[in-house]
């Protein structure tokens, strides 16, 4: 007999997690608690309640976590201008710590002795979920069905559904998306299907959130974003909550063909993976944030922050959100944001999000010094001579010794 009496499952209501509910009940003879999070995936989550009830689940958690997701996870990450391997805005990665936290909190509330998820044994998400779970509850048992069962194909999953009378939203006769997709307020990702060939171009009808740049409006859209300590707090002068900001920018960006990405990334588990992403709001946010930093951060502060960013991105991508190194990096990043306040004006046009203006009361840009016109003595150009000679001293000494500089 299993020592697992109750398990909390991260439950989407889809095929995989519906099978997992029944599989857990049969394999572990345990009670299953389902947890469904609304983090802005764009689909109704309430139907998951009916599906879970049909599977005999008595404790069902369905929660709107959109505001917490953007406020406490997306915004802190964007303060660092975080991108992984030069391109990926970490839309899937940043959602997993929140889900892991709620899984553990619900396990504590319900007296469950295990948690479970539907991530496969080939991907990063198993690492992210479980790293978070162990960091927050060291002794918790984690059940990962994809690492245990033999249901290794969609056909086997469907056969299991038929055998156990599990209700699903589609049958073999209905058209199924060829892609594995994951969505939240920050992005939607696509993997699988023809994308498994890195030479094959993604089909146009795959994209859900954005129009093709060439089909975007011929007139640009202008938008003004107000920042307070590194976070966007208003759009065109209207104060908005964090999740409302992202919802608004997703619509603006998608309408203008902004935010599509096609990359091959290095997964933490060792393999390369080709994925396509739509991150319209995040793309705008990133460029606007760098713009407001460009006039409010000291040069060395900004440069050091840029040096830390790849490490910070790797920490999040690999699932270490709850680690001491992430907290240490976050403290340093947040310290830099105290003066990152002001307004950035963006021009959105046919796939491009272009900064066309920035202003701040904390600006370090001094027009009287930077001007090409008469600066009235604000900057003595003769000072540059000594500056250059001092910095060239080691080069002059080496050259004097006959050392080759090529």
Instruction: Give catalytic residue positions.
Output: 16, 96, 125, 180
Instruction: Check if the beta carbon of residue 184 is closer than 8 Å to that of residue 98.
Output: no
Which residues, including other chains, have CB under 8 Å from residue 402's CB and lie 6 or more apart? none
Token match 């479970």: residue? 116
Angle at Cα 87 formed by Cα 85 and Cα 92, nearest 5°?
Answer: 90
**What is the rounded distance in angstroms from the CA atom of residue 254 to the CA atom of residue 92?**
18
240-243 contact pairs (CB < 8 A, 24+)? 241/67, 241/71, 242/67, 242/70, 242/71, 242/74, 242/75, 243/40, 243/66, 243/67, 243/69, 243/70, 243/71, 243/185
Task: Please name the residues in contact with 28: beta carbons below 8 A apart, sequence gap of 6 or more.
Answer: 2, 4, 7, 114, 143
Distance, CA of 77 to CA of 220 (rounded, Å):
28
**How far is Cα 187 from Cα 70, in angstroms, rounded to an integer?**
12
Name the 3-class secondary structure at 204. Answer: helix
Tell me the C-alpha to C-alpha distance, in Å, between residue 382 and each of 368, 385, 389, 391, 396: 17, 6, 12, 15, 20
> Which residue's entry shows tokens 């209207």?
238
Distance CA 51, CA 14 (A): 9
Our CA angle for 388, 391, 394, nearest 5°, is 130
H or E stretch including 311?
A: helix 299-317
Secondary structure of residue 278 in the 3-state scheme = strand
Rounded Cα distance, 346 and 342, in Å: 13
Beta bridge partners of 357: 345
């Amino acid at each position: 007999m299993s020592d697992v009496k109750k398990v909390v499952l991260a439950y989407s209501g889809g095929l995989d997690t519906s099978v997992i509910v029944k599989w857990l009940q049969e394999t572990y003879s345990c009670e299953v608690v389902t947890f469904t999070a609304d983090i802005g995936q764009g689909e109704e989550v309430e139907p998951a309640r009916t599906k879970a009830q049909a599977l005999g689940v008595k404790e069902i958690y369905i929660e709107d976590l959109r505001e917490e997701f953007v406020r406490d996870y997306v915004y802190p990450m964007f303060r660092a201008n975080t991108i992984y391997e030069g391109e990926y805005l970490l839309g899937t990665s940043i959602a997993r710590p929140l889900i892991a936290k709620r899984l553990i909190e619900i396990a504590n509330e319900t007296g469950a002795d295990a948690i479970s998820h539907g991530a496969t044994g080939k991907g990063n998400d198993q690492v992210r979920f479980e790293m978070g779970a162990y960091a927050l509850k060291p002794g918790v048992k984690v059940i990962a069905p994809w690492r245990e069962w033999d249901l290794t194909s969609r056909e086997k999953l469907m056969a299991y559904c038929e055998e156990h009378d599990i209700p699903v939203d589609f049958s073999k006769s209905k058209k199924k998306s060829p892609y594995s997709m994951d969505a939240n307020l920050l992005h939607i990702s696509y993997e699988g299907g023809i994308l498994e060939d890195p030479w094959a171009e993604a089909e146009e009808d795959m994209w859900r959130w954005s129009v093709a740049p060439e089909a975007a409006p011929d007139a640009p859209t202008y938008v003004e974003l107000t920042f307070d300590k590194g976070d966007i707090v208003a759009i065109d002068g209207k104060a908005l909550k964090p999740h409302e900001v992202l919802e608004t920018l997703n619509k603006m960006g998608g309408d203008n063909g902004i935010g599509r990405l096609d990359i091959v990334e290095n997964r933490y588990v060792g393999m390369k993976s080709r994925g396509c992403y739509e991150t319209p709001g995040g793309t705008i946010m990133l460029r606007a944030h760098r713009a407001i930093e460009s006039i409010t951060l000291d040069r060395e502060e900004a440069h050091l922050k840029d040096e830390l960013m790849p490490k910070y991105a790797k920490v999040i991508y690999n699932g270490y959100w709850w680690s001491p190194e992430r907290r240490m990096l976050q403290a340093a990043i947040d310290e830099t944001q105290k003066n990152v306040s002001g307004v950035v004006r963006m021009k959105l046009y046919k796939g491009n999000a272009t900064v066309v203006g920035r202003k701040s009361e904390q600006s370090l840009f001094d027009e009287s010094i930077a001007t090409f016109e008469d600066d009235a003595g604000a900057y003595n150009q003769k000072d540059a001579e000594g500056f250059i000679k001092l910095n060239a001293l080691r080069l002059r000494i080496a050259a004097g010794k006959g050392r080759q500089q090529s």
